[in-house]
Structure 1
């Protein structure tokens, strides 16, 4: 039995999801989102993400963590903000002694839906099948759960 924390970092709203993997059997443990306000200074927003993920790790004690690989947006400013949010979230994992497995977005979609070109609605529909009864906090939490599921399938 392995507890996996999936992460979908974003400066605006970071999603997280914890699943239990027992062989090929998956079950939902918890999920949520950590939102920050654009009017809050950058350092405080990053601190909030770091602290929030630290609290999730302390509460659920995952055995491993997974995150989508970084991708470049067309807008360099957006890419930089994403990188800063990822840094805060990954630093929280590192501070807890957790390594982070990184998976390409197309690989996550393929592992969850069966095709790397799946859209968000298809991923969310498969989450309802793979994690029946799970109440998902929002789109970012759904993405984080998808990352955790992909990690369960791709990492042994």
Structure 2
């Protein structure tokens, strides 16, 4: 059995979802959204760091998966998203977890079957693949989709924990 944490990076809302994979079976454990708090960027990033650290402590995942960022026309927005993505990578790595990274189109193709699916389609397929799951919002649904993608691509070979860093 492998517990997977999926993370959808965002500066305002960072979605997260935890699933368990037991062979071909997937089971929903928890999901939510970390909301950044504070006026300046440093405070907002610290808020996301603290909240994601608590998720890792509470749910003890074996591995993590994070969505990759696409560069868009707004350079400042892309840079801020990259900083939030750094938190999404840092927290699991600091806990000694192996972190997989997946392009948004790869996640959608794995979960929906179409690389350019919309958020509604992703939500629908996440709920079908994780019966009883009620995502906390679109960001949490995306995070669960990222975890599902990791389950399909990494298999049990990716479950090895890295050496835990002593806090």
Find runs of 4+ consecutive structure 1 residues off by over 3 angstroms. none
Shift of 1:125: 0.7
Q: Deviations over 1:104-123 (max 9, x none)?
A: 11110011011112111111
Preserved contact between residue 13 and residue 35 of structure 2 (Cα < 8 Å)? yes
1:49 aligns with 2:34: no
Preserved contact between residue 36 and residue 47 of structure 2 (Cα < 8 Å)? yes
Question: Which residue of structure 2 lines up, in the alignment, with residue 97 of structure 1?
Answer: 96
TM-score, scaled to structure 2? 0.90
Question: Which residue of structure 2 lines up, in the alignment, with residue 26 of structure 1?
Answer: 26
User: Quick one: distance in 2 between partners of 1:140 and 1:99?
Assistant: 22
1:60 aligns with 2:56: no
Question: Alignment RMSD, CA only?
Answer: 1.0
User: Quick one: distance in 1 between partners of 2:39 and 2:17?
Assistant: 25
Q: Deviations over 1:87-129 (max 9, x none)?
A: 1221111211112100111110011011112111111111111
Unaligned runs of 5+ in 1: none
User: Quick one: distance in 1 between partners of 2:74 and 2:51?
Assistant: 27
SS at match of 2:6: strand
User: Quick one: distance in 2 between partners of 1:119 and 1:25?
Assistant: 25
1:108 aligns with 2:77: no
Question: Which residue of structure 1 lines up, in the alignment, with residue 151 of structure 2?
Answer: 152
User: Quick one: distance in 2 between partners of 1:91 and 1:127?
Assistant: 26
User: Quick one: distance in 2 between partners of 1:57 and 1:21?
Assistant: 17
User: Quick one: distance in 1 between partners of 2:134 and 2:124?
Assistant: 12
Question: Which residue of structure 1 lines up, in the alignment, with residue 87 of structure 2?
Answer: 88
User: Quick one: distance in 1 between partners of 2:88 and 2:116?
Assistant: 26
TM-score, scaled to structure 1? 0.96
SS at match of 1:46: helix
Shift of 1:36: 1.7
